[in-house]
Chain A
Amino acid sequence: MLAQQLANGVMLGSTYALVAIGYTLIFGVLRLLHLAHGEVFMVGAFAGLQALLWWQFGPLAALIVGLIASAVIGMLLELVAFRPIRKRGNSHLAPIVSTIGAGLVLQEVMTKTFGAEQTPFPSALSRVIYNLGIISVTGSQIFILSVAIVTMIALHLFVTRTRYGIAMRATSENLQVAAILGINVNTVILVTFGVASALGGIAGVLVGLNFNAISPFMGVEMGIKGMAVMLIGGLGSIYGAMIGGLLLGIVEVMSVAYLVSSLRDAFAFGLMILILILRPRGLFQTGIRTER
């Protein structure tokens, strides 16, 4: 029973982690909150659904379609809702307004296209059940876990081994110094949005596979949880977001299984506040200061 719940918590937590890494990457380079990131995640889920329904591609192709759709939307948002504000002085509150606006637009466009209700997300994988001794998992859960692990390893290699990854880390260390050293900061920011949003899109498809239903408003809750996880892990810390996501997923599943299921979200945010009291800069302190 405990092992089973732990496994479920890890599945849920890995999708939280993917969304939170997106937040933390963007926060790292820009020190800003991206309140439409939840909607980017939602768009990825719907794009993946289209790939599954219309073109009868398998889940892997759905994943790639969702990833690309989210990355495109995310980069578009940087060009429309962040870059113009950055050019006109560095207001740190205006991007919150523009991303709330962009989020409303994305929600309504998706509602008009797919309806406001829950749309079923078909998956042949969830009908296959494997018994692994003490725990039983569905095919889609194995898929979710392997995709999450592969994605996080790929992200680790990206930020440590590639030119753009290293440039991204340099930019998040100090934007001005990175620019002086010859890094094209605007390109790095655009790439960061692409990577962060692609992770969100992957998470969208995975959530669709896990819960078998998606809606245009699913991004709101995921967005809030993603921000909480970013805070738990420490602002700007990729590995903190991974650990924080798993922690939140496990706490949620455990509170449903052993405590009061309807208070799940209260436990989730209670955990966040507790961690903030004990470690005001999150589990993995990054030294990023938010003096403003």
Chain B
Amino acid sequence: MSVETLTLILVVLTFGIYIYIGWWAKAKDTSSFFVAGKGIPAVANGAAIAADWMSAASFISMAGLIAFMGYDGTIYLMGWTGGYVLLALLLAPYLRKFGRYTVPDFVGDRYYSNGVRAVAAIATIFISLTYVAGQMRGVGIVFSRYLQVDIVVGVLIGMAIVAFFAVLGGMKGITWTQVIQYFVLIIAYLIPAVAIALKLTGNPIPQLALTFSDIAQRLSTLQVELGLKEYLAPFQELSAINVFAVTLALMVGTAGLPHVITRFYTVKSVRAARWSALWAIVFIGLLYTTAPAIGVFAKYNLINSFQNQSLDQVRQEAWVSKWESTGLLKLEDKNNDGVLQLTSDNNTNEVTIDKDIIVLATPEVAQLSPFIIALVAAGGLAAALSTASGLLLAMSSAVSHDFYYRILRPDATEQQRLRVSRIMIFLSVLVAGYFGIYPPGFVGEVVAFAFGLAAASLFPAIFLGIFDQRMNREGAVAGILTGLIFTFVMILLMRSQQIFGTEQPILSSFLGINAQGIGVVGMVLNFVVAYFVSRATAAPPAEIQRMVEDIRTPDLADGQAS
């Protein structure tokens, strides 16, 4: 059977399962719609968080990104995992104890202000929207590459699927589909990784193959010989201060992303919130420790497939001509000697490899069966759809729960709220699809916004709300606004080329820190301003202080008679 037919069968099969789960998990009330009735077991929630978290970018691009960044790729590896330590220790258990539906719920109640609630809801919508556009685009790209369907048609199919299980099942439907999607994506990721590790080192476990073989050393030496960067040496791509700042911004940003935090409301108990954070990091860590191994193996393999090989011979490989036709791989015999040379100089380099090819082409380069290639396509779709659905729910609940119910119509009935939620999630799908079909030119740039703004606004507000009992409304508002405005302006100035079309960035860096890491400075400013303003103004009301005490500690057996 051809790769196309197999891909089609696998995609239809997995989509059928997602639709079935959406129908099976129909939400009957707002609690199941927003937080899956708070009945999700810890392991399942961990898998759902992992699928929610790992996007099309994690699945398709990350290993390739690392393969080209070398050591400094650690900003993504540590940055996108280390945040779970902050979540597990500092936020998740307490938000679960608080026990409402959304992030704006917490900050709005804790700082006794609908203004803060509205700001948090707007931040949630903005952060989720910048993210979701890329996911829908990812769905379209996978469809077009593997099934030769137009990108627009691919996005429309993706929208229809997400709309079905999200509108019908809400968080409950989304959670259980994400659990399935995690297993589809991780299997699709691991099989090619195991195959290439086995082929190159004789050790089937990619993590061990990377640590105990000499492939990484050989790649590093090979790169130096070709005049490329030394793969294993730190700070070749980014300065040490930037690696530090970007890693911290991504970690804190992760801990402040609303669609991830919301997932901790869905478990049965505070204890389950702690254990589901463990399952989440285990499931995520499985992919994130595999990615650097794939990066090294695939790059080593690719360089050896091309360097000093005859162009005609290389082109006889089916996968080479296929990926050349997509434009992700470019071979040009610039000096007309019939042999390919890789160099660090653009004028003489004859092989250009796009980062996305590292994961997408690995099964073909390693000569795996067409079934595995089809599986990778289904995995990419699972990664994109699961993240999209989590983001859509975060976005729509900010509108339907935080704005409509908590601010505008506190007297709305259960039925009204459920109807508004369904309409909002449907509208969110349409908006996300629109951006998937007509992506804004700077979509890659705005992801820096999502993490920077989450790090500079939501994380400090939630953290201080739990750990600083004295923190009041005035302090929180001043801190959030300072962090938000500073980070927003800085990113606009540093990315002005892409956003406003200026010739040079208006500002190249702030104290040596780039746009991706600037959220850290915004976060520090938020903390400092919040502290001083709160100490200069009145303490929060007594009932708020009691609420903080209640969030912090469990009911103790011989205490209250509740």
Q: Are A and B a genuine interacting pair, yes or no?
A: no
Chain B interface (Cβ < 8 Å from any Cβ of A): none
The chain A residues found within 8 Å of chain B, CB to CB, are: none
